[in-house]
């Protein structure tokens, strides 16, 4: 009987807490914050860039290369311009500068993987990232409002080396300067006492080939790569 009484007490407390968290009306912060047509803010965040490689089928005698790659954590800073369409739709422009580093290991039949100069490349990138996004929100629940977001973007890679005449034979890895992406993600608006805070996570996927091939058509670094495209995850914290 004692255990039954304790179990009933726990169930009653749990139901009461659930009612307070999800059903009880609370005082809303910043009640008119979303009413203006235009609003602005700034963004701080982290990024995790990676590459996706597609390979050609090599002909007999051609070097066979597999690229082993890993990503590291970068950071992002940016601004937000938001145009309200209605209570559920917003159009957002989020220009950002992102910094990232990716390490590539070229495992080629043409050279030993232990040869560091030939097999390893550190790819440092500084992007001016320009996304145009549609934000679709739910109804505001007390002081939170979940949403999904998606759109397209373009970027300018300031560290691309696209116009560098040297290639991998001289230790220079080259990428195209301009790239287009599609993006999709989700987040939640948190209405605090003095400002709105929005954590979000977004996937970013390049739609084009970013690799600049080496001058030698039989290069052991790039000859059997059909397509190289970036993909990444952005974790952003927006303050308005």
Count, residues in the chain? 240
- The model's pLDDT over 83-123, given as tens digits with 9 standing for 90+, comes to 999 989 999 999 999 999 999 888 876 665 557 677 788 89
In the 8-state DSSP scheme, what is residue 28? P
Alpha carbons 92 and 75: distance in angstroms, whole number? 20
Alpha carbons 82 and 141: distance in angstroms, whole number? 21
Helix (H, G, I), strand (E, B) or coil at 12: helix
So what CATH class is 30-239? Answer: mainly beta
- Going from N- to C-terminal start, the domains of the chain cover 30-239
Buried b (16+ CB within 10 A) or exposed e, 136-157: ebeeeeebebebebbbebebeb
Which residues have a Cβ under 8 Å from the Cβ of 121 and sit 6 or more positions away? Answer: 103, 104, 106, 168, 171, 173
Tell me: pLDDT of 16 over 60.
no
Low-confidence winner among 4-8, 31-35, 96-100, 153-157 (lowest mean pLDDT): 4-8
Alpha carbons 211 and 225: distance in angstroms, whole number? 9
- The model's pLDDT over 170-223, given as tens digits with 9 standing for 90+, comes to 889 999 999 999 999 999 999 999 999 999 999 999 999 999 999 988 888 888
Task: Decide if 200 contacts 149 (C-beta within 8 A).
Answer: yes
Mean of the per-residue pLDDT values for the chain? 84
């Amino acid at each position: 009987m004692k255990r039954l009484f304790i179990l009933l007490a726990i169930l009653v407390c749990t139901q009461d807490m659930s009612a307070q968290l999800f059903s009880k009306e609370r005082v809303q912060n910043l009640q008119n914050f979303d009413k203006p047509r235009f609003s602005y803010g700034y963004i701080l965040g982290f990024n995790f860039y990676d590459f996706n490689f597609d390979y050609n089928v090599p002909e007999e005698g051609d070097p066979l290369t597999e690229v082993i790659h890993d990503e590291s954590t970068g950071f992002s800073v940016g601004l937000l311009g938001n145009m309200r369409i209605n209570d559920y739709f917003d159009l957002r422009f989020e220009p950002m500068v992102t910094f990232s580093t990716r390490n590539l290991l070229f495992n080629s039949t043409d050279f030993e993987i232990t040869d560091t100069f030939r097999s390893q490349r550190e790819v440092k990138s500084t992007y001016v990232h320009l996304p145009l996004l549609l934000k679709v929100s739910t109804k505001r629940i007390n002081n939170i409002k979940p949403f999904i977001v998606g759109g397209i973007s373009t970027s300018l890679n300031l560290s691309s080396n696209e116009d560098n005449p040297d290639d991998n034979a001289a230790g220079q890895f080259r990428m195209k300067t301009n790239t287009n992406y599609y993006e999709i993600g989700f987040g939640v608006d948190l209405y605090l006492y003095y400002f709105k805070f929005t954590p979000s996570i977004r996937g970013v996927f390049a739609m084009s080939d970013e690799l600049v091939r080496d001058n030698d058509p039989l290069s052991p670094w790039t000859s059997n790569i059909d397509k190289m495209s970036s993909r990444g995850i952005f974790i952003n914290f927006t303050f308005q």
